[in-house]
Amino acid sequence: MTKKRKTKKTKKRKVSLLKRYQKLFYILIFTALAVLSAFTIYSTFDIKSLFKEKKRERNRYPNRELLKKINKMLNEERKRVDILKRELKREKERKKSISIDKKKKIAPKKIVSSEALDYKKSLENNATIKAPKIHYNLSVKSQKPLLAIIIDDVSFASEVQKIKSLPFKVTPSLLPPTKRHPNTPALAREFEFYMVHLPLEALNYAHPEPKTLLTTDTKEHIDNRLQNIKKWFPRDRFLNNHTGSKFTSNLQAMTRLFSAFDKNGLIFVDSRTTANSVASKVAKKFGKKLLNRDIFIDNIADISYIQNQLKKAIKKAKAKGFAIAIGHPHPKTLQALKISKSLFKDVELVYIGTIYEKVKTDTK
């Protein structure tokens, strides 16, 4: 009986021992797995060296924002250098092309200004009529010689603003209204003084203005045209010719024109688009004073050329007491005038009306 009891007790002890160490066994297994995993990660990624590298970077670049700014500035400087290189390359190419042009002796680009072109064509035609010489005398002496600069072909608001911005007096000459430039009467009101640019028939001109007066027009037709111009431009007294090499060299046509001028109280200024103009002869017949152009200033679209023409006009003014120069509202012309104020220190720039009042003419 005692032996059986002992065996039962020992069985009970073995079961309780397994249960007691079961949790510890699981903990040991989990710990072993965790250590193995950590070792694997450490050996694979080398975390220690990674932390060391970050520490070295921090020591090497203490201020990352400053570094970014420096990099940005360097990039901007590189861009500027690239731009300068491109500009230098363009400048070298431009100088090279200029030197080639000089070698080829290429002339400056010419402006197709209507009056100057008409005058050139009239000289090529070798007309035989010779205009009489005009002798001028100043009826009222001025302290300085007088110079009137007429700007022909004024037609648009942009031209008006540029002319008004000039730092001295010029005389704008506006074309009569057409479909292409219908607002010239309104534009004329922008000026203190203006004149009208009257289209007359040319010997050779491919683009005449609408309603250009022809040598075959009757006295009544010319008179009607001038009456309309007076309605459009009520303050105007002076008209100069737009083209007109054929018309102004025709004695009968100019006689009809001066008769209509006299009837309407208007004054003719000869743009001299032909060397054979008979305007002075007809003016003497009607007992009228006549003014005519001395020089065109912008046959060539070049500022130095235009300034040289202005110097010639000033020289003419000093020689006879006054001069009349004609230009056009081309960008180069207006730019040249704007920067040439110092050229006019020895002359007085006036409107064409001032010269007309102070000058008396005798035709011989």
Give the tens place of pLDDT for each residue, 168-210.
Answer: 999 999 999 999 999 999 999 999 999 999 999 999 888 899 9
- pLDDT reported for residue 164: 97
- pLDDT reported for residue 80: 83
What global pTM score does this model have? 0.69
- pLDDT reported for residue 42: 64
- pLDDT reported for residue 221: 98
Gap between the Cα atoms of 305 and 16, Å rounded: 123
Burial status of residue 272 (CB atoms within 10 A of its CB: 0-12, 13-18, 19 or more): buried
Gap between the Cα atoms of 71 and 90, Å rounded: 29
Token pair 């250098």 in the structure block, residue: 81
Q: Which residues of 202-233 are buried (b: 16+ CB within 10 A; e: fewer)?
A: bbebeeebeebbebebeeeebbebbeebeeeb
- pLDDT reported for residue 112: 53
The answer to whether 232 and 264 are in contact (CB under 8 A) is: no
- pLDDT reported for residue 240: 98
Please, which residues have CB within 8 angstroms of residue 178's CB and are 6 or more apart in sequence?
A: 209, 210, 211
CA distances from 125 to 208, 246, 249 (A): 19, 11, 12
Gap between the Cα atoms of 308 and 284, Å rounded: 33
What is the DSSP code (8-state) at residue 244?
-
- pLDDT reported for residue 44: 63
- pLDDT reported for residue 117: 74
Every domain of the chain and the residues it spans: 2-60, 114-363
- pLDDT reported for residue 255: 98
Residues of the chain with pLDDT below 50 are 1-3, 6, 106, 127
- pLDDT reported for residue 182: 97
Please, which residues have CB within 8 angstroms of residue 61's CB and are 6 or more apart in sequence?
A: 67
Q: Under CATH, which number does the domain 114-363 receive?
A: 3.20.20.370
